[in-house]
Structure 1
């Protein structure tokens, strides 16, 4: 099976981080985005960034930068649509998305999403929270290009919640374990960088 194109979602405003690009913050000897790219790139046929504003700030990564086609920072589904449109231009069938602030994303993300996908190719990642309840991670998904016009119409109608649109299309769920720390731990606040550094030093420690 052909590997999907990868889209790193970096289109948010990082308000809890004080603004700016979270992915460009240092985490150990590299930046957060370097860690994300290192883990996602081997799983994909090619990578692109979904980000708004001046794309030049990401030039050194050598990746295409895809802005939202709908203004106003209206959530990850808008970034998914940008990725699907880019994939359609390249003749690809699917994309996989990951958040730009998640330096421990699973090394088998694509394989697990693909294995658990619904017949239409749609799948969302999930893992247990601190109570053991399964929680979906809407920025980590496998998305078929064939649904991009449906998504565009849903966004035009005002839909913004990933789970609502995913459920509408019977998305599969790929379950991941937290046994070696949370693979979907995301850096939202400055203090989360210290937590991530501790997890890097001791991968078996939960954040």
Structure 2
């Protein structure tokens, strides 16, 4: 499969960071979203940002800003759906998503997800935790445009947990190494910012 568009998911409310746009916090002198753009951008055929509220606050990045099409902040699946609707309008067959708060995401994310896709075309990223158990990272995925109506119906029916929906469609798993640290390390608290600063300097 050739490159597909990418969507950065930044629609959360960052309650553990005191609210606001977590992706605009700085790590290693740059905002989180800049790290994500630099890593994901070369892997995909164009980028968009899923975020709610005034899109002007992201104008400097020059990306389309896609608001959730489902009310009441139902979570990342709404951002995935917004991305699928955007991609469908461009004639794309799928999208790759990444969370906006992960400054070390893999530089081969898109290719590995495509290689791991299940029969439905879905795939999620995963990595081992400290105990060796595989942990899925459901905001990092390959999502076929052909399933967007099914996803819309699921959201309207109350589904919020990503893996409930992806498991029902037989999503494949792309397993990434978590050494020397997990590339899906994400920023949720001020302490995480400090940890990321240390990792960035390592």
With structure 1 as the length reference, what TM-score do the two structures score? 0.96
| Separation of aligned partners in 2, 1:101 and 1:161 | 19
2:154 match = 154
How far 1:130 sits from its partner (Å)?
1.6
Aligned: 1:171 with 2:147: no
Kindly indicate whether residue 109 of structure 2 is the aligned counterpart of residue 103 of structure 1.
no
Partner of 1:197 in structure 2?
A: 197
Equivalent position of 2:36 in the other structure:
36
- Give the number of equivalent residue pairs: 202
**Structure 2 counterparts to residues 79-118 of structure 1, below 5 A:** 79-118=79-118
In structure 1, what is the Cα distance between the partners aligned to 2:97 and 2:41? 11
Unaligned runs of 5+ in 1: 203-207
CA distance in 2, matches of 1:57, 1:154: 31
Q: Deviations over 1:102-123 (max 9, x none)?
A: 0000001011101110122100
Deviation at 1:180, TM superposition (A): 2.4
Correspondence for 1:61: 61
**What is residue 25 of structure 2 aligned with on the other side?**
25
Structure 2 stretches lacking a partner, 5+ long: none
Rounded to whole Å, the distance in 1 between the matches of 2:64 and 2:180 is 32
| Whole-Å separation in 2 of the counterparts to 1:182 and 1:54 | 32
Which residue does 1:129 correspond to in 2? 129
Corresponding residue SS for 2:132: coil
Q: Secondary structure at the match of 1:98?
A: strand
- The RMSD of aligned alpha carbons is 0.7
Whole-Å Cα distance in 2 between the matches of residues 33 and 6 of structure 1? Answer: 13
Distance 1:28 1:104 in 2: 12
TM-score between both structures, scaled by the size of structure 2: 0.99
Q: Distance in 2 between matches of 1:57 and 1:78?
A: 20
Deviates more, 1:50-59 or 1:117-126: 117-126
Instruction: Tell me which stretches of 4 or more aligned residues in structure 1 moved more than 4 Å.
Output: none
**Deviation string for 1:82-129 (max 9, x for gaps)?**
000000000000100000000000001011101110122100000011
> Counterparts of 1:34 and 1:14 in 2: how far apart (Å)?
18
1:144-186 per-position Cα deviation (integer Å, ceiling 9, x unaligned): 0000000001111111110010010000000001112110000
The whole-number CA distance in structure 2 between the counterparts of 1:146 and 1:47 is 19
